[in-house]
Amino acid sequence: MDIMNVNPTRMQMTKLKKQLVTAKRGHKMLKDKRDELMRQFIELVQENKKLRDKVEAELAACNAHFVNAGAVMSKKALDSSLMSSKQQTGVEVASKNIMSVDVPMFETVSKSEDEGDIFPYGFAFTSFELDDAVSSLGALLPDLIKLAEIEKSCELMAAEIERTRRRVNSLEHVMIPRYEDTIKYIAMKLEENDRSSRTRLMKVKDMLLEKAHHYSEKE
Amino acid sequence: MIGDSESVKGFGAVGFDLFICDDIQNSAAVLKQITEDDYYAIIFMTEEIFQQTAKEREKFAEMLTPAMIPLPGTRGNAGIGTQRLSSFVEKAVGSDILFKN
Q: Of A136, A130, A122, A133, nearest to A78 (Cα)?
A: A130
- ipTM score for this prediction: 0.85
Return the half-sphere exposure (C-beta side, CA atoms, 13 A cut-off) of residue A42.
11
Q: Write out residues 95-154 of A within 8 Å (CB-CB) of B.
A: 95, 102-104, 106, 110-112, 118-120, 133-134, 137-138, 141, 144-145, 147-149, 151-152, 154
A95 assigned to some structural domain: no
CA A99 to chain B, closest CA, distance in angstroms equals 15
pLDDT in tens, chain A (219 residues): 678 888 888 999 999 999 999 999 999 999 999 999 999 988 988 898 899 888 888 888 888 887 777 777 777 776 766 766 666 777 788 888 877 888 888 887 776 656 556 666 666 666 677 777 777 877 888 888 888 889 888 888 998 999 999 999 999 999 999 999 999 999 999 999 999 999 999 999 999 998 888 877 776
Count structural domains, chain A: 1
* Mean pLDDT across chain B: 80
Question: Residue A43 burial by CB count (10 A; 0-12/13-18/19+): exposed, middle or buried?
Answer: exposed
- Percent of chain B exceeding pLDDT 70 equals 95
Beta carbons of B64 and A103 less than 8 Å apart: yes
Domain for residue A137, yes or no? yes
Residues 6+ away with beta carbon under 8 Å from A119: A86, A131, A134, A135, B13
- CATH code for the domain of A178: 1.10.287.3240
Q: Which fold does the domain B2-74 belong to in CATH? A: Rossmann fold (3.40.50)
Amino acid at A153: S
Q: At what angle do helices A128-170 and B5-13 cross, to 10 degrees?
A: 100
Q: Where are the alpha helices (DSSP H) in chain B?
A: 5-13, 27-35, 47-52, 54-57, 80-93
Three-state DSSP class for residue A84: coil
| Long-range contacts of the stretch B56-60 (C-beta < 8 A, 24+) | B56/B28, B56/B31, B56/B32, B57/B31, B60/B35
Question: Looking at the domain assignment, is residue A5 inside a domain?
Answer: no
Domain boundaries, chain B: 2-74
Q: What is the pLDDT of residue A27?
A: 94
CB contact under 8 A, B10 and A52: no
Q: Would residue A196 count as lying in a domain?
A: yes
Residue A144 belongs to what domain range?
A: 10-76+128-207
Judge whether A151 lies within some domain. yes
Q: Would A90 be classed as within a structural domain?
A: no
In a domain, A174, yes or no: yes
Would you say residue A218 lies in a domain?
no
Please, what's the b/e burial string for A137-164 (b: 16 or more CB within 10 A of its CB; e: otherwise)? bbebbeebbbbbbbbbbbbbbbbbbbeb
B89 touches A: beta carbon within 8 Å = yes
What pLDDT score does A17 carry?
Answer: 94
- Residue A128 is predicted with a pLDDT of 72
